[in-house]
Amino acid sequence: MENSLMADRKSSPAGQAGGQVLEVNDLHVSYYTDAGRADALDGVSLSLNAGEKLGLVGESGSGKSTMALAMMRMIKPPGRIEGGQVIVDGTDLMALSDEEMLKARLSKIAYIPQGAMNSLNPVLRIGAQMMDAVIAHKTPLSKNDIEKRCRESLESVDLDGGVFQMYPHELSGGMKQRVCIAIGILLQPKVIVADEPTSALDVVTQRQVMETLDKVREQLGAAIILIGHDMGLMAQFVDKVAVLYAGQVMELSTVKEMFTDALHPYSEALINSLPNLENKGVFQGIPGLAPALLRLPPGCSFHPRCPKVMDHCRSERPETILQNGRTVSCHLFSQEENQAA
């Protein structure tokens, strides 16, 4: 029997898949250090429809977690959101007051943090933590209704109702991660941002967690942003992939297009670094290191490592080109456009 938590969303037009629920426009985030200013996000833009799954990939330091925290307006000093919009279901989160943003978290946009082991209060029962999350939003629900909703949320992620009375240390890693998902969906958000939700989990538990995420996405009609390094996991789970490098979106394509015909040399290098059966035992990495954000190279930030580098890549930053419904920031394609013109 379907619980009321999910039935409420399914009966409303907002829960139906298809309409755009997320639009990120020209998002900029900087960190101010003694050594200078580092641009962690440099004009990131993307959009998602209800029910869509987007994978956000890139090496460590590319800006993936900063993107998640910026969307939630959880960037702390010395970081600062410099500009841009994050529009969820018609509301620009960047324009809200602190109190309004507090209410928007969980109800409009939810964040499932990296490392569930450290995300739960070790001295509070799971149920108390879940109820606190709902009470903080000053909902008109009675205490009994809030408890019922929390128990239903646990059941929706395939956890036994007894987990409500348990402490975090009594749960396995996978169970803790599913508790974090249950907390994230308590107020039926339109967008769920999952920051490496399967890190530190074994492969069987990883699959269970991903199946749980997919299940709640279908039930709520929410859009999901999955952040991670694992391109293989992205290939199995998401609809679209955005590749970040040095705080910029290098390419955004459907998952099929990305894995069969990657446009950007960095996207291609990431995919080629995956192990495959044809080259067993051969590891193919990406030459060089990701640049320090305080000392970004001029022109295209990937040019020092790019196998297809051209002279003007070293001095001119490429524009973002729309190519057959895909976006790519690379001079290879801006050059094609110029030649076609």
Residue 140 pLDDT grade (very low, low, confident, very high; cuts 50, 70, 90)? confident
Q: Which residues contact 337 (CB under 8 A, 6 or more apart)?
A: 321
Interval 273-285: pLDDT, tens: 887 767 676 777 8
Helix runs in 157-254, H state only? 173-184, 203-220, 231-237
Q: Is the pLDDT of residue 270 over 60?
A: yes
CA-CA distance, 329 to 303, in Å (whole number)?
A: 12
CA-CA distance, 289 to 245, in Å (whole number)?
A: 11
Check if the beta carbon of residue 168 is closer than 8 Å to that of residue 178. no
Q: Is the pLDDT of residue 116 over 70?
A: no
pLDDT > 90 in the chain, percent: 69
**Among 233, 285, 283, residue whose Cα is nearest residue 259:** 233
**Burial zone of 118 (CB within 10 Å; 0-12 exposed, 13-18 middle, 19+ buried):** exposed
Residue 337 pLDDT grade (very low, low, confident, very high; cuts 50, 70, 90)? very low
* Backbone phi and psi for residue 61, each to the nearest 5 degrees, phi listed first: 90, 5
**pTM higher than 0.85 for the full model?**
yes
Interval 85-98: pLDDT, tens: 999 999 999 999 99
What per-residue confidence (pLDDT) applies to 335?
60
Give the mean pLDDT of 129-155.
91
**Among 300, 322, 258, 305, residue whose Cα is nearest residue 336:** 322
* One-letter amino acid for residue 279 of the chain: N
What per-residue confidence (pLDDT) applies to 278?
73
Sequence spans of domains, the chain:
4-11+19-245, 263-277+285-341
Provide the β-strand partners of residue 68: none
What per-residue confidence (pLDDT) applies to 87?
97
Residue 13 pLDDT grade (very low, low, confident, very high; cuts 50, 70, 90)? very low
**Mean pLDDT computed over every residue of the chain:** 88
Task: Count the alpha carbons within 13 Å of 21 in the hemisphere toward its beta carbon.
Answer: 24
CA-CA distance, 199 to 118, in Å (whole number)?
A: 12
Q: Is the pLDDT of residue 1 over 70?
A: no
Most confident region among 119-123, 173-177, 242-246, 330-334 by mean pLDDT: 242-246
Average the pLDDT over each of 183-187, 205-209, 211-215 and give the range with the smallest value: 205-209
Q: Is the pLDDT of residue 69 over 60?
A: yes
CATH of segment(s) 4-11+19-245:
3.40.50.300
Interval 226-254: pLDDT, tens: 998 888 888 889 999 999 999 999 999 99
Average the pLDDT over each of 60-64, 135-139, 248-252 and give the range with the smallest value: 135-139
CA-CA distance, 257 to 240, in Å (whole number)?
A: 9
Determine how β-strand 240-245 pairs with β-strand 53-57: parallel
Average the pLDDT over each of 66-70, 80-84, 247-251, 280-284 and give the range with the smallest value: 280-284
Q: Is the pLDDT of residue 5 over 80?
A: no
Check if the beta carbon of residue 189 is closer than 8 Å to that of residue 220. yes
Q: Is the pLDDT of residue 22 over 60?
A: yes
Q: Is the pLDDT of residue 271 over 80?
A: yes
